[in-house]
Structure 1
Amino acid sequence: MTVDVTIYHNPDCGTSRNTLAMIRNAGIEPTVIEYLDTPPTRDQLARMIADAGLRVRDAIREKGTPYAELGLDNPGLTEDQLLDAMLAHPILINRPFVVTPLGTRLARPSEVVLEILPDTHRGAFAKEDGEQVLDEKGQRIV
């Protein structure tokens, strides 16, 4: 299926790998951007965050990043200052962001991506940890 889907991916992240696998399970081969090597531009990042309905602070990753050392927990920091930090240190960008014609989401947990994919899933899908997300008919298990 030809659907324009882009995932800002970190192959070392299980959530990102699960999200990519769910996109492929829908019969879609997305554009994969390894954002640590090729970070989005300031405008792209700001647009993705806004389109996902988030504030910049909601899109910052704390775990395994220089978040604390940079003092990013300071509530007085502006969204522009937070964006600057994310661009200077792409590891601070939470992942994975997925952009499709149906919307943009920060796919945490990974099954959030299902909200913005066409209903074209090919059978059952389980995450790496074995959690079933889709049944044998490609329907979401709730």
Structure 2
Amino acid sequence: MRLLLFLAFLVVPVLEIWILFQVGSAIGGLATVGLLIAGSLLGAWLMRREGRRAWRVLQNTLQSGGMPDRELAGNIVVLAGGALLLIPGFLTDVFGLLCIVPFTRPLMRRLGAWFFERRIERLAATSPYANLYPTHQEPGPTPNGGRVVHGEVIREDRE
């Protein structure tokens, strides 16, 4: 993972500079700077609008008593998109806009969830405590001879 991060911090800026030179040679330097500024302004406006919308959805979910897992993930994706838009460059702007635009945000949220799920599973597998608490256990006999039965506890309050 450290190598991947190192390469990302090394490759992304070099790729951004290369793309800037390519776009600048095709449309001119002033137009390239104008395009970067326009992209940043559009991204800031989108982030503000979608951030407010995501915050309202989160508040409504909390007020209705629901679990805001999807809403929190959506807010994190909007925040990551905004951070990417702050970095000058076309490549980071494209990924930032993918995180902010409403119809691509669910895809980015699922991609992030998939990535973090794999990362957590890998960390759990390499942990020295991985064998103490198995994560996937089939119902069956326990060490003391009992049987595990999955179910639900329903408590009735008696007054």
User: What TM-score do you get using the length of structure 2 for normalisation?
Assistant: 0.24
User: Comparing both structures, which one devotes a greater share of its residues to helix?
Assistant: 2
The structure whose Rg is larger is: 2
User: What TM-score do you get using the length of structure 1 for normalisation?
Assistant: 0.26
User: Comparing both structures, which one devotes a greater share of its residues to strand?
Assistant: 1
* Bigger RCO of structures 1 and 2 (CA < 8 A, at least 6 apart): 1
